[in-house]
Amino acid sequence: MKILIIGSGGREHALVWKIKQSPLVDEVFCIPGNGGIAQVAECVSIDQSDFEALVEFAQDKSIDLTVVGPEVPLVDGIVDVFDKKGLKVFGPSSEAARLEGSKSFAKEIMKKYGVPTGGASLFDNYAEAVSYLEGLKPPYVIKADGLAAGKGVFIAKTLEEAKAAVKSCLVDKQFGLAGELILIEECLEGPELSILAFSDGKDVLPMVPAQDYKRAYDNDEGLNTGGMGSYSPVPIVTPSLYTDIVKTILEPMITGLASEGIEYKGVIYAGLMITEDGPKVLEFNVRFGDPETQAIIPRLKSDIIEPMLACVEGDLSEVKLDWTEEPCVTVVLASGGYPGDYNTGYEIKGLDEVSVMDGVTVFHAGTKLKDRKIVTSGGRVLNVSALGKDFAQARDRAYAAIDKIHFEDMHYRKDIALRAIKTGGKV
């Protein structure tokens, strides 16, 4: 088979890495890819938003399956375009992708089909939103309705912070169209986790849980980012809790969408809060998470192409997933200043030394090849993922690898997976 992956981040590198291991796969292409992906697949410089050019490439190369990584092409309808041309593509339709593209749409579906989530009110007017906030008690949760690259969520400790968040969306237009409508949500309390599942439009095949770190600095301080690290599994997720999540959240969401005439095929990602009243949904994403994928995929022993094809063909019933019991810890190495302003173009050193370390895999995110050297080209630069016999060993391996990597202004959190050790340690 010839496989095409759309995307350029750490998630896509992890998918390329795993797909390359499939005995069903002969060639792998990636559009546009990055410096790390270019070392294991053929990268092609085509604009991800140019669906016509992407279709033409897939047809010219006789691509057997296209796997879409990022949310923007999915929300914009890349799957619909490929489907119309008779090309197999893994991911939800634009209608199904509204689950991530519009938080208000997701809330509406959850409410209709009894999927547990926090209460929320919608606003497109600054004065009305502020008036509503003044009747609430802190902390306050404000979310841009549309896609904001993981940065449109504000958890404000004071009313002034909350007002500033509302202003950034509705007045300053910081997120453009994505922030023209906002949700002010009930602030849920408890540990967070993510569960991803394959869906064929009728049934779900859940993956192992993961937990990520959104804040830029240790102890969950600083601005929200696209994710600074993750780990899998999650010690607090007991078999009964896992079953509860599948039965009360994932399955009802897929069958609810089907009842609306929306066939959801691809990966569905549930971001959850485990409250005193049980698991509740914080958000749904319509693709593999980033950086959760970089902690989940190294644990998957099964061929990943099999469930992908089964989703596209509409029948997951015969597919089983086999996982290693070894935990995986992923630490994101970012450019100094991220998620704000940062510089790029710095050479990355030490990757060859890390490549021979036991249990360690480095997935590239914001990198490119320049004059035969790997240089930084984004905010999140590398994902260092490590397996181990327990969380302590996996974490030690990841940070030992990081000690060998260097680029100017390199920034990373030093507390990734500490909570996993404190709340369970061994799997």
Paired residues of 411 in beta bridges: 334
CATH code, 189-313 = 3.30.470.20
CATH 3.30.470.20 residue ranges of the chain are 189-313
Overall average pLDDT of the 171-187 stretch: 90
Sheet of 265-275, strands arranged across = 204-206, 192-200, 265-275, 278-285
Overall average pLDDT of the 164-172 stretch: 92
pLDDT exceeds cutoff 80 at 150: no
CATH 3.40.50.20 residue ranges of the chain are 2-93
Q: Please check whether residue 413 is in contact with residue 333, taking contact to mean a CB–CB distance below 8 angstroms.
A: no
| SS3 labels along the chain | CEEEEEECCHHHHHHHHHHCCCCCCCEEEEEECCCCHHHCCEECCCCCCCHHHHHHHHHHCCCCEEEECCHHHHHCCHHHHHHHCCCCEECCCCCCCHHHHCHHHHHHHHHHHCCCECCEEEECCHHHHHHHHCCCCCCEEEEECCCCCCCCEEEECCHHHHHHHHHHHHCCCCCHHHHCCEEEECCCCCCEEEEEEEEECCCEEECCCEEEEEEEEHHHEEEEEEEEEEEECCCCCCHHHHHHHHHHHHHHHHHHHHHCCCCCEEEEEEEEEEECCEEEEEEEECCCCCCHHHHHHHHECCCCHHHHHHHHHCCCCCCCCCECCCCEEEEEEEECCCCCCCCCCCECECHHHHCCCCCEEEEECCEEEECCEEEECCCEEEEEEEECCCHHHHHHHHHHHHCCCECCCEECCCCCCHHHHHCCCCC
Distance from C-alpha of 382 to C-alpha of 378, rounded to nearest angstrom: 10
Overall average pLDDT of the 296-301 stretch: 98
Longest CA pairwise span in the chain (Å): 60
Architecture of domain 120-185: 2-Layer Sandwich (3.30)
- Residue type (1 letter), 139: P
CATH 3.30.1490.20 residue ranges of the chain are 120-185
Q: Please check whether residue 232 is in contact with residue 327, taking contact to mean a CB–CB distance below 8 angstroms.
A: yes
Distance of CA 222 to CAs 155, 197, 211, 342, 419, Å?
11, 30, 18, 15, 18
- How much is the pLDDT for 29? 98
- How much is the pLDDT for 178? 86
Structure confidence by residue, pLDDT tens digits, 18-27: 999 999 999 9
Overall average pLDDT of the 290-296 stretch: 98
- How much is the pLDDT for 426? 44
- How much is the pLDDT for 218? 97
CATH of 2-93, one of 3.20.20.70, 3.40.50.20, 2.10.109.10, 3.30.360.10: 3.40.50.20
Residue bearing tokens 């009243």 = 277
Distance from C-alpha of 274 to C-alpha of 284, rounded to nearest angstrom: 15
- How much is the pLDDT for 425? 54
**Short-list 40, 24, 33, 39, CA closest to 5:** 33
- How much is the pLDDT for 263? 97
Distance of CA 358 to CAs 90, 100, 354, 385, 388, Å?
32, 37, 9, 11, 9
Q: What is the dihedral of CA 118, 297, 22, 354, to 10 degrees?
A: 150
| pLDDT-derived band at 148, boundaries 50, 70, 90 | confident
pLDDT exceeds cutoff 50 at 205: yes
| pLDDT-derived band at 149, boundaries 50, 70, 90 | confident
Q: Which residues does 149 contact at the CB level (< 8 Å), separation at least 6?
A: 226
Overall average pLDDT of the 110-137 stretch: 94
CATH 3.20.10.10 matches 328-422: no
Supply 222's token pair. 């600083």
Q: Please check whether residue 66 is in contact with residue 58, taking contact to mean a CB–CB distance below 8 angstroms.
A: yes
Q: What is the mean pLDDT of the chain?
A: 95
Structure confidence by residue, pLDDT tens digits, 95-117: 999 999 999 999 999 999 999 99
Overall average pLDDT of the 252-262 stretch: 97
Overall average pLDDT of the 370-398 stretch: 97
With pLDDT > 70 as the criterion, what percentage of the chain qualifies?
99
Q: How far is CA 416 from the centre of its chain?
A: 17
Distance from C-alpha of 412 to C-alpha of 397, rounded to nearest angstrom: 15
Residue bearing tokens 């604009």 = 47
Number of neighbouring beta carbons within 10 Å of residue 280: 19
Q: Which residues does 15 contact at the CB level (< 8 Å), separation at least 6?
A: 5, 7, 67, 69, 288, 293, 297, 304
CATH 3.90.600.10 residue ranges of the chain are 328-422
Overall average pLDDT of the 113-129 stretch: 94
Q: How far is CA 103 from the centre of its chain?
A: 16
- How much is the pLDDT for 427? 37
| pLDDT-derived band at 152, boundaries 50, 70, 90 | confident
Overall average pLDDT of the 58-78 stretch: 97
With pLDDT > 90 as the criterion, what percentage of the chain qualifies?
93
Asked whether the CA dihedral 204, 205, 210, 214 is positive or negative, the reply is negative
